């Protein structure tokens, strides 16, 4: 894996790097408050529900291909690895629009990579471009293993919301992830 040798530079308080990662985070948090709202799926009919299921499955397979689980683990709870702890996707409180943005743009100054082919080429991501990181290798945004288009990003966000966010690990999820019952799944208490 190309970014297996991921860098992890603790961002020092009071440095420009700290200010930057702080700014990105503050932005994400502020955006949650503004955009949190009922998900579109709830307002749609049964036909849309079937579409949603297909989208969630597509989201899971896309997340696997993008190697989200390389860092966030198959269960989505994240944990140590790659030199930095990936946040739990089960505990994340980001609203859908913020998930989409985070997947597209990553989080500069951390090991969360970006997946939008054009991220940081123009100012679509937090108003920042690669030029802003010219002398700042520690915070330069990391590129994901593969680029995701808009449809794929949306599907991954829908998968995170439907299967992970706010939920505990279940046997059903485990079997869905691994494509059938495995010994690992047997050990899980919740059906
Ligand atoms: C190279 C490792 C890596 C990969 C690959 C990765 N992530 Fe992350 N992700 C992280 C790290 C590290 C963080 C924590 C960032 C921080 O400290 O703020 C994170 C944070 C997140 C968060 C933020 C949670 C929150 O509440 O702030 C979400 C959501 C997320 N990742 C989703 C994904 C998805 C979806 C993918 C695949 C498209 C993915 N990640 C791929 C390492 C990774």
124 closest CA partner among 147, 106, 146: 106
Structure tokens, 161? 């919301």
0.85 cut: is pTM over it? no
Average pLDDT taken over every residue of the chain: 83
Domain ranges of the chain: 16-186
Q: How far is the CA of 134 from the centre of ligand 1 (A)?
A: 23
pLDDT tens-place string over residues 76-129: 998 876 546 888 999 999 999 999 999 999 999 999 999 999 999 999 999 999
Asked if 66 and 148 count as a contact pair (C-beta separation under 8 A), the reply is: yes
CA atoms within 13 A of residue 183's CA, in its CB half-sphere: 0
Please report which confidence band the pLDDT of residue 148 belongs to, taking 50, 70 and 90 as the band edges. very high
Question: Ligand 1 atom closest to Cα of 67?
Answer: 5
Question: What pLDDT does 51 receive?
Answer: 85
Residue nearest to atom 17 of ligand 1 (CA): 110
**Nearest CA residue ID for atom 18, ligand 1:** 110
């Amino acid at each position: 894996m190309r970014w297996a040798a991921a860098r992890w530079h603790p961002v020092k308080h009071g440095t420009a790097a700290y200010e930057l990662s702080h700014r990105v985070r503050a932005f994400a948090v502020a955006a949650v408050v503004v955009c949190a709202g009922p998900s579109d799926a709830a307002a749609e009919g049964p036909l849309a529900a079937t579409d949603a299921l297909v989208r969630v499955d597509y989201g899971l397979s896309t997340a696997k291909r993008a190697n989200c689980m390389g860092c966030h683990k198959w269960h989505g709870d994240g944990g140590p690895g790659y030199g930095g702890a990936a946040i739990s996707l089960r505990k994340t409180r980001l609203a859908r629009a913020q998930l989409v943005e985070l997947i597209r743009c990553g989080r500069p100054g951390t090991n969360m990579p970006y997946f939008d082919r054009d991220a940081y080429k123009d100012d679509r991501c937090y108003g920042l471009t690669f030029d802003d990181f010219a002398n700042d290798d520690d915070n330069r945004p990391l590129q994901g293993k593969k680029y995701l288009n808009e449809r794929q990003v949306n599907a991954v966000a829908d998968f995170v919301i439907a299967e992970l966010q706010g939920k505990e690990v279940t046997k059903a999820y485990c079997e869905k992830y691994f494509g059938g019952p495995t010994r690992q799944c047997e050990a899980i208490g919740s059906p």
